[in-house]
Structure 1
Amino acid sequence: MTIQEIRLQTGLTRKEFCVKYGLPIRTMEDWEAGRRNPPEYIPRMLAYYVGIEKTKDFIERGKRNINIVRDTDGNKIVVIHDIIFKNKQKIL
C-alpha cells in the first residue's frame, strides 16, 4: 500500500494528514509524487496507526463490544461480541 493510498483512506488532505502524523508536507509531496521513496517502515507504520484509529472510530460510534486479539500465527483478529442474529441461520 502506498502512502497516498493510506492518506486517501483517512479522507484527510495532505496538510491535515501531515499535521496529524507529524510529517513534513514537502516530504509527503515528494513521496506521493514519486520523487522520493519513504523508508520501508513508514507505510507500514502509517497503515497500522490509521487502522487503529478507524477501529477506535468504529467502536466509539457504535459503542460496540469489540476486542482485537492475535491468533497462534500472530495475525490480528477482531472479535465482535454483540452480534445479534434476527433469524435462524445455518453455520457450516
Structure 2
Amino acid sequence: MIKDVRKSVGLTQKQFSALFEIPIDVVKSWDSGRRKPPEWAEKLIIEKLNSIKETTSQ
C-alpha cells in the first residue's frame, strides 16, 4: 500500500527513505512484502504522502 502511494507521488525509495528518515533497507523490505510497517505508522505515512500529492498537484 505504501509503495503504491509512494509511486503515485513520484518518490523513489531513496527519496522516501530520506524524507521519512526510514532506513533504505526497511523501505525495500516493505516494498517487496518481506516486512510490514506497524498499522499506525502506515496510516500516518500514507496520510502524509497524500498531503504531499495534493500540494504538488496544485
Shorter-chain TM range is 0.7 to 0.9
The corresponding residue for 1:27 is 26
Structure 2 residue runs of 5 or longer lacking an equivalent are none
CA separation in 2, counterparts of 1:13 and 1:24? 13
TM-score, length-normalised on structure 1? 0.55
Q: Is the Cα contact below 8 Å between 1:6 and 1:46 reproduced in 2? A: no
Name the one with the larger helix percent: 2
Alpha-carbon separation, structure 2, partners of 1:36 and 1:48: 20
Looking at structure 2, the residues matched to 49 and 30 of structure 1 have their Cα atoms a distance apart, in angstroms, of 20
**Deviation (angstroms), 1:39:** 0.5
Structure number with higher relative contact order (C-alpha < 8 Å, ≥ 6 residues apart): 2
- The TM-score with structure 2 as length reference comes to 0.82
Q: Stretches of 4+ moved more than 6 A in 1?
A: none
Provide the aligned length of Structure 1 versus Structure 2: 57
Equivalence for 1:18: 17
Residues 6 and 16, structure 2, Cα contact 8 Å, conserved in 1 = yes
Q: What aligned pairs does 1:71-90 form with structure 2 within 5 A after superposition?
A: none
- In structure 2, the residue matched to 1:40 is 39
Instruction: Output the amino acid matched with 1:48.
Output: E
RMSD: 1.2
Name the one with the larger strand percent. Answer: 1
Runs (5+) with no aligned partner, structure 1: 59-92
Q: Deviation of residue 54 (structure 1)?
A: 2.4
